[in-house]
Amino acid sequence: MRLYTTFHLNLSFSSIEEDEHESIIEKCYWPLLDLCEEDRIKISIEASGKTLERINLIDDNWIKKLSSLIDEDKVELIGSGYVQMIAPLTPYEVNHWNHLLGLEIYERYLNVRPKTALINEMAFSSSIIDVIYEVGYDSFIMDESNIKLSFKYDQEWDGLMPNKALSPSNYEMPVLWSNSFIFQKLQQFAHGDINFESYLDFFDKYKSSQMGIVPFYTNDAECFDYRPGRFNTESTIHPHGEWNRIKELMIYLTKNRDITWSTPSEIMPDIASQDTKARILVSSANPAPVKKQPKYNITRWALSGRNDVWINTMCYQIFNKMMDDSELRASKDLKRRLCDLWSSDLRTHITKNRWDKAVGQIHQINEHIDSNIKIRDKTTDTKTEIDDSCENHDSNFEYSTDEENTILKLSTKDVIASLNLRKGLTINKLQFSKFDNPAFGTLPHGYFDSILLGADFYTGGVQSQGFFEGQKISDLQVVEPEIISDKSSITLITSHNTALGDIEKRLSISRQKPMITLNYEFPNWKRGKYFLRVGYLTLLPDFWGNEIEISYLSGGRQREVLRINGDFDHTKPISSLVSSTTAIPVTGGEILISNKDSSISVNWEPHQCAALPMLINKQDKNGYLNRLVFSLQEIDDTLKPDGSIPSFRFRVSVAEKI
């Protein structure tokens, strides 16, 4: 049996202030290196480039010691980038910059260029494989526990974890599996939550999923003999010393079990030589696997925190400015600063002091690049520009209402839409003229046989609910929309008053192409303990059938293509503290929905509002319920109410079939 470790070092950890760094190096990082003083014990260490820079500034002897141990083949360095970044939520170019900056620092301080990468926060998309391959990595480490969820509805899966992963470009890369259960079990032992015998009982029963390889530990080094004081429930430090307990356990296993301590580079050749089928590691049900239990999901870095949507939006604005200017794009300093702003640690339990510094950095960068980004907790105004010089009623479009004034029908040469005036201008049917059937609309109460689906499933609505107050907010009210026509579009405007504030909604139908635009504004809302989802798109089964694919960019430069398969709901709460299961990590501002005949684009501007789409797929004997919805905020343990709710706009249009 071969055991390997990958201790993760990150001095940018969200709840740690800079004045704690010296203490962490002394209490956590030096004892880590001391493990290697024991005969036959090897370890691997993963650290961001920024962490190594900081350690070198505080205690360069630690860097010298690490370099010496690497030369002696007692330690292997695992790469991760300049900062710990959630790659599926970050544009390809920024991911590329992050890894190149990290590799440069590894070579500068340690004279080594690692060949194996650790997936930051185990937040994975298939596109990451192409990114790390391009910069020189030939293998990666990823958590197996959550990847298994991707295979739940795969009838071809034989129950064995693959040794190779497949990228969007069809590149096959060896993967070394880590495991949440076993690293958490070591933490429990080190902290004294379980005793020596209990740990050994678990270890002896552990079944390796990969050629007798056991991932002894693959997580944070800062959780031993140190506590950041983030929670009142944090355990006290074990009086015997937690690093001492780990060291004694490793010595015991070395002497009393048939094991060999190995490094990833010693293991990878055997994995790479296996003639096994490479697999895509994500699915429509599980598009963004991350580490540990389900309460940790991709939304914690995108839709909660102190204001994830806002800081992600600001990062996109800076990124777009850089991409439009070759001089800015060539600036290594600006790349480093943007990577720093896109680091995962600013998006979870970040301290108020460090958050304020990050906001200040955004302000400084904006001044530097002479942009018009404003430091305020809202995005650029996304109101539809309307030229009301034309009369409201002309020959270029038609509209009418039914006898009961319930359904308003609008049509142009490219679009036919019927809208529900009693339910907030939700879309009853949306048809593009080139197709025989409407693509989106409402599936009414009674459409499905199962009582679990016994509701009206509208298109275009807004829903919000706070778990603690239990108050449910929607825009399903009787409306009398204002209709304005100009040369480019017909726009309907409604306003709703709710307990959380006003909802202003605009629905525009293009006169020039097959496209509609939905715009949502929340002018006096404040971020609080609630989720907020908008723009529900209900796919109509007569148009789509049961073979639907989605495709999108997710941190790379080629689209990921996933078939909608299985029974799942990304919006389903995990508990009373976590409001959703996952989301689709789209970085290109577009998701294509396709069947064998047609493709429709749903697109938005992340630099105006970095919302994330979620997917629902349910089935009973009467058919399928497929829905796409955008989230502007979710609830979890990182959410801190502060700031305002941004406006959000997206478009639905006919696309070329890929």
Is 235's pLDDT higher than 90?
no
Q: Give the model's pLDDT for residue 231.
A: 60
Beta bridge partners of 207: none
Q: What percent of the chain has pLDDT over 70?
A: 95
The full set of domains in the chain, from first to last, is 2-292 (3.20.110.20), 308-368 (no CATH), 402-654 (2.70.98.60)
Name the residue among 11, 4, 135 with its Cα closest to residue 63: 11
Is 61's pLDDT higher than 50?
yes
The residue ranking higher by pLDDT, 38 or 304, is: 304
Q: Give the model's pLDDT for residue 9.
A: 97
Q: CA of 189: how far to CAs of 182, 202, 282, 289, in Å?
A: 11, 11, 32, 26
Q: How confident is the model at residue 25 (pLDDT cuts 50, 70, 90)?
A: very high
The residue ranking higher by pLDDT, 627 or 327, is: 627
* b/e code 307-325 from CB counts within 10 Å (16+ = b): bbbbbbbbbbbbbebbeee
Q: What is the pLDDT of residues 85-96, one digit of tens each?
A: 999 999 999 999
* pTM score of the predicted model: 0.93
Q: What is the pLDDT of residues 353-385, one digit of tens each?
A: 999 999 999 999 988 886 443 433 334 444 434
Q: Give the model's pLDDT for residue 294.
A: 86
* Whole-angstrom distance, CA of residue 217 vs CA of residue 43: 10
Q: Mean pLDDT over residues 211-240, rounded?
A: 88
Q: How confident is the model at residue 199 (pLDDT cuts 50, 70, 90)?
A: very high
The pair of three-digit structure tokens given for residue 384, joined into one six-digit string: 């539809």
Q: Give the model's pLDDT for residue 346.
A: 96
* Whole-angstrom distance, CA of residue 448 vs CA of residue 99: 49
Q: Give the model's pLDDT for residue 183.
A: 95
Q: Give the model's pLDDT for residue 388.
A: 40
Q: What is the pLDDT of residues 484-503, one digit of tens each?
A: 999 899 999 999 999 999 99
Beta bridge partners of 567: none
Q: What is the pLDDT of residues 74-114, one digit of tens each?
A: 999 999 999 999 999 999 999 999 999 999 999 999 999 99
Is 38's pLDDT higher than 50?
yes
Q: What is the pLDDT of residues 598-619, one digit of tens each?
A: 999 999 999 999 999 999 999 8
**Lookup result for tokens 């494989």:** 129
The pair of three-digit structure tokens given for residue 128, joined into one six-digit string: 């990451």
Q: Give the model's pLDDT for residue 66.
A: 98
Q: Which of 30-44, 147-161, 309-323, 326-340 has the lowest mean pLDDT?
A: 147-161
Is 526's pLDDT higher than 70?
yes
Q: Mean pLDDT over residues 522-534, rounded?
A: 95
Q: Give the model's pLDDT for residue 320.
A: 95
Q: Give the model's pLDDT for residue 58.
A: 97
* b/e code 174-197 from CB counts within 10 Å (16+ = b): bbbbbbbebbbbbbbbbbeebeee
- Give percent helix, percent strand, percent coil of the chain, each to the nearest 5: 30, 25, 45
* Whole-angstrom distance, CA of residue 141 vs CA of residue 143: 7
Within 18-124, residue ranges assigned H as helices are 21-24, 30-34, 49-58, 60-71, 92-110
Mean pLDDT of the chain: 92
